[in-house]
């Protein structure tokens, strides 16, 4: 089978792109939503109000509460209110599995806040497909490799890379879909390459532990200890009761050094081996500073370990992580990432649609099995692109419609999400192609446009604060975009121009 | 494309997919380990640089598997994995032998 | 920060526009005739200059570490917006910076 490079790469791009395109669209869409995960969290917890309170005051309330309710916990964790996350939250015990309570930052009293999957769900789905432990991470990794292969093979086969740099010719059927795919791919190429490669790097030592196996015998802990200065775990043999030091001066010291803080962890509060760890809000530099905290002695207030200095290679690694996590640069940068992410998702979607548009005429004469497979591809396209959109906005609706007192509420929200998505696949299989697209996109549009109304009826007031307003405005704008797409689908032009492709047209357009 | 044409294409495609995904992974693993050992740097630096570059190697290996002139040539990178693995894991081998 | 951000966005779009108009097919698309060689050179030259200016603007908004990251994002998005506008509203695509500039100057004056 002699093939030129272009032919083999075209084959690889087409079939690799199709097979992984559905998964990649889901990963890119949820990733884009995850840019605003905390803002979505906030919208999904209407009980929490935006307040402005100093970190010292918040910590004081938190410690007072913890002292009253959980004086003998092994650890206290305090999540401080920040620009993006106005909630004050305390956890007694282990950070992930301990007892969590929301507190009113002004009064220090506990708040009853609904259990919700939140925007954090989009973040978790994005890197793990909501699967427990590692299988999901591996699948996402494989998809990311497929994306890299698709990007490079796409560049190789795109002959008119510079000539057609700005070219987009609408209303020409297959040509337009190819133009849209090329334009969104080429113009956003730096973003695509960066986001995919940095995404792989985050779990590099899970996907490719070769260097770890070779140099450290697979011992990750040993590597971790060596690559940055971490304060030594000291286990005191004998501990006695000792009062916790005043936190206010420590907060001031930490903020002076690291900028705004996102949280405080107090290990062994009230004992002589107490430790206080201060976490900074991520994003005052590109490098991801997760885990690079300041540690103080809990009794004396002495600084035990400052924010670690990063050696050049570690800095490069952390900058790579940071470029993917997109926590830096404030809201303007966040918006750039969000829009780029949505356009990347659209790029993948145009590729999926292009596959079916190209083969529509040919498959009409295929075998019965061929036709069923083609039908499956069409249905998966609708369910992945439109269906997932419905499920995502549907999650926000479920957040407001499910009763607040429902046990395991977050779990039910997620069941609803996946149920909607599954139903969309069923719908797409049963309905004719264009109707399936129109109906699902219309539903998504309706849910988006209706969100502010839902907010008013469920919360008793419109949006409540500026962050929720921004979210609802954005959702409505996306809803309008969806309306436009449904309107475009009604146009018979698309089908007519496929026949007119060869007719004489003097314009460049 | 006739039925007969489809079945004769199935093996070369399978071969290339396996060569790319599995063969490519084995090759990349060995190359990354070798690079980690060979780089004249501190352990931490060597690990990070080798790991950072590994996905580039893997991508190229997968592309090679499909660009190669025949389904057999697609496996060309795999034989290289053995000597590379030797370089990457010679300290472990010495330990085993000692 | 917002003035620098919006200013860089304006510069980024203008640079993409200039480079795009420097290509024969897109110049024809808007003006109906082929560009002269001088026009092409001027357009491309100013395009590269505006590109550099937008990078400088991004550095003003974010600093020199984060600036280039934002710059790439802006170039991509403004290029894409341009590609979308050209077939539907070619004259708007060209005159958008002309409309944008006074708005930005007003913002700059207000922000002080």
**Token pair 């280039």 is at which residue?**
C68
Q: What is the mean pLDDT of each run of 10 residues along chain C (112 residues)?
A: 93 97 93 93 96 97 95 97 95 93 92 73
A214 touches chain B (CB under 8 A): yes
Q: Where are the alpha helices (DSSP H) in A237-328?
A: 248-258, 312-325
Taking the CA of residue A9 and the nearest CA in chain B, the distance in Å comes to 7
**Distance set, CA A361 to CA A322, A365, A486 (Å):** 46, 8, 23
Q: Compute, in degrees rounded to 10, the torsion defined by CA atoms A445, A449, A451, A454.
A: -110
The whole-model pTM stands at 0.93
From the list A197, A40, A202, the residue with the least C-alpha distance to A122 is: A40
- Burial class of A26 by CB neighbour count within 10 A (0 to 12, 13 to 18, 19+): buried
* pLDDT tens, residue by residue, A386-443: 999 999 999 999 999 999 888 899 999 999 999 999 999 999 999 999 999 999 999 9
Average model confidence (pLDDT) across chain A: 90
pLDDT given for residue A502 in this prediction: 41
Which of A185, A289, A329, A330 has the most C C-beta neighbours within 10 Å, making it the best mutation to test the interface with C? A329
CA–CA distance, C42 with A325 (Å, rounded to integer): 40
What the block records as the tokens of C78 is 């403004």
The complex scores an ipTM of: 0.96
| Residues ≥6 apart with Cβ < 8 Å to C98 | none
Question: Are the CB atoms for C22 and C79 separated by under 8 Å?
Answer: no
Rounded Cα gap, residues A417 and A411, in angstroms: 10
Break chain B into its structural domains and give their ranges. 3-97
C108 CA: distance to closest CA in chain A (Å)? 17
Tell me, yes or no, if A509 comes closer than 8 A to chain C by beta carbon: yes
Secondary element (H or E) of residue A103: strand A99-103
Cα–Cα distance between A201 and A317 in angstroms, integer? Answer: 8
Please state the three-class secondary structure of chain C as a single string. CHHHHHHHHHHHHHHHHHHHHCCHHHHHHHHCCCCCHHHHHHHHHHHHHHHHHHHHHHHHHHHHHHHHHHHHHHHHHHHHHHHHHHHHCHHHHHHHHHHHHHHHHHHHHHHC
Contact C83 A183 (CB under 8 A): yes
Residue A401, SS3? helix
Distance CA A348, CA B66 (A): 22
Q: Do residue C69 and residue A329 have CB atoms under 8 angstroms apart?
A: yes
- Our CA-based measurement puts residue A490 at a distance from the nearest CA of chain C, in whole angstroms, of 18
Which residues from chain A sit within 8 angstroms of residue B37, using beta carbons?
Answer: 214-215
Cα A254 to chain centroid distance, Å, stands at 29
Cβ pair C80:A337 closer than 8 A = no
Residue A159: per-residue pLDDT: 85
How confident is the model over A321-331, as pLDDT tens digits? 999 999 999 99
Each residue's pLDDT, cut to its tens digit, for chain A (509 residues) gives 567 899 999 999 999 999 999 999 999 999 999 999 999 999 999 999 888 888 899 999 999 999 998 888 889 999 999 889 999 999 998 777 788 899 999 888 999 999 999 999 999 999 999 998 899 999 999 999 999 999 999 999 998 888 899 999 998 889 999 999 999 999 999 999 999 999 999 999 999 999 999 999 989 999 988 888 766 666 666 778 888 888 899 999 999 999 899 999 999 888 888 899 999 999 888 999 888 889 999 888 889 888 888 899 999 999 999 999 999 999 999 999 999 999 999 999 999 999 999 888 777 777 888 888 899 999 999 999 999 999 999 999 999 999 988 889 999 999 999 999 999 999 999 999 999 999 999 999 999 999 999 999 887 777 778 899 999 999 999 999 999 999 988 765 544 444 444 443 333 33
- Each domain of chain A, given as residue ranges in start order, spans 53-113+231-309
CA atoms of C31 and A49, how far apart (whole Å): 54
Range of the domain at C49: 2-111
Neighbours of chain B (3+ CB pairs under 8 A): A
Q: What is the DSSP letter of A241?
A: B
Helix (H) or strand (E) holding B56: helix B43-67
Instruction: Write down the pLDDT at residue A125.
Output: 97
Render pLDDT for A14-34 as a digit per residue (tens, 0 to 9).
999 999 999 999 999 999 999
């Amino acid at each position: 089978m002699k093939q030129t490079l272009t032919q083999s790469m075209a084959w690889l791009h087409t079939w690799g792109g199709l097979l992984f395109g559905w998964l990649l669209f889901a990963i890119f869409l949820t990733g884009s939503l995850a840019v605003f995960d905390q803002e979505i969290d906030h919208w999904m917890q209407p009980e929490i109000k935006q307040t402005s309170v100093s970190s010292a005051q918040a910590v004081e309330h938190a410690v007072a509460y913890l002292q009253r309710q959980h004086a003998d916990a092994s650890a206290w964790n305090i999540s401080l209110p920040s620009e993006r996350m106005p909630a004050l939250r305390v956890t007694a015990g282990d950070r992930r599995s301990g007892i969590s309570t929301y507190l009113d930052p002004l009064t220090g009293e506990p708040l009853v806040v609904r259990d919700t999957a939140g925007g954090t769900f989009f973040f978790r789905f994005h890197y793990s497909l909501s699967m427990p432990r590692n299988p999901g991470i591996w699948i996402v990794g494989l998809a990311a490799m497929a994306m890299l292969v698709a990007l490079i093979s796409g560049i190789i086969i795109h002959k008119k890379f510079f000539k057609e740099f700005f070219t987009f010719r609408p209303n020409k059927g297959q040509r337009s879909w190819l133009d849209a795919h090329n334009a969104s791919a080429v113009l956003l190429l730096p973003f695509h390459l960066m986001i995919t490669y940095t995404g792989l790097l985050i779990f590099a030592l899970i996907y490719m532990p070769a260097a770890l196996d070779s140099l450290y015998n697979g011992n990750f802990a040993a590597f971790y200890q060596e690559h940055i200065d971490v304060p030594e775990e000291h286990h005191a043999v004998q501990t006695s009761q000792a009062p916790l030091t005043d936190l206010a001066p420590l907060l001031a010291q930490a903020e002076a050094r690291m900028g705004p803080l996102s949280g405080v962890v107090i290990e062994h509060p009230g004992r002589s081996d107490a430790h206080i760890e201060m976490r900074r809000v991520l994003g005052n530099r590109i490098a991801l500073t997760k885990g690079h905290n300041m540690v103080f002695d809990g009794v004396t207030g002495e600084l035990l370990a400052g924010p670690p200095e990063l050696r050049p290679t570690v800095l490069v690694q952390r900058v790579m992580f940071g470029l993917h996590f997109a926590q830096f640069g404030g809201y303007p940068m966040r918006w750039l990432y969000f829009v780029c992410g949505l356009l990347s998702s659209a790029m993948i979607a145009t590729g999926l649609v292009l596959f079916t548009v190209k083969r529509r005429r040919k498959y009409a004469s295929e075998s019965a099995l061929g036709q069923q497979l083609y039908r499956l591809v069409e249905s998966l396209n609708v369910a992945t692109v439109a269906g997932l959109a419905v499920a995502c906005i549907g999650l926000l609706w479920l957040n407001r419609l499910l009763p607040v007192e429902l046990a395991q509420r977050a779990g039910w929200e997620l069941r609803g999400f996946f149920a909607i998505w599954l139903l969309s696949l069923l719908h797409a299989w049963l309905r004719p192609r264009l109707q399936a697209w129109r109906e699902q996109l219309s539903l998504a549009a309706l849910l988006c446009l209706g969100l502010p109304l839902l907010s008013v009826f469920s919360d008793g007031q419109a949006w409540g604060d500026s962050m929720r307003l921004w979210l609802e405005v954005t959702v409505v704008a996306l809803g309008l975009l969806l309306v436009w797409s449904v309107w475009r689908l009604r146009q018979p032009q698309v089908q007519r121009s496929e026949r007119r492709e060869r007719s004489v047209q003097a314009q460049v357009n | 494309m006739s039925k007969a044409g489809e079945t004769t294409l199935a093996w070369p495609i399978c071969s290339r997919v396996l060569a790319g995904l599995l063969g490519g992974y084995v090759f990349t693993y060995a190359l990354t380990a070798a690079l980690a050992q060979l780089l004249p740097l501190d352990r931490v630096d060597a690990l990070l640089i080798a790991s950072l570059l590994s996905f580039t190697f893997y991508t190229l290996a997968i592309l090679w598997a499909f660009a190669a002139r025949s389904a057999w040539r697609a496996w060309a990178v795999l034989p290289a994995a053995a000597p590379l693995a030797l370089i990457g894991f010679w300290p472990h081998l010495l330990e085993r032998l000692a | 920060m917002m003035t620098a951000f919006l200013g860089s966005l304006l510069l980024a779009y203008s640079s993409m526009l200039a480079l795009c108009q420097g290509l024969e097919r897109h110049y024809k698309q808007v003006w109906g005739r082929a560009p002269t060689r001088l026009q092409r050179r001027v357009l491309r030259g100013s395009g590269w200059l505006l590109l550099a200016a937008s990078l400088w603007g991004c550095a003003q908004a974010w600093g020199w570490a984060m600036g280039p990251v934002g710059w790439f994002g802006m170039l991509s998005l403004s290029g894409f917006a341009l590609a979308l506008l050209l077939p539907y509203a070619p004259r708007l695509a060209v005159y958008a910076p002309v409309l944008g500039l006074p708005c930005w100057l007003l913002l700059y004056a207000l922000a002080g």
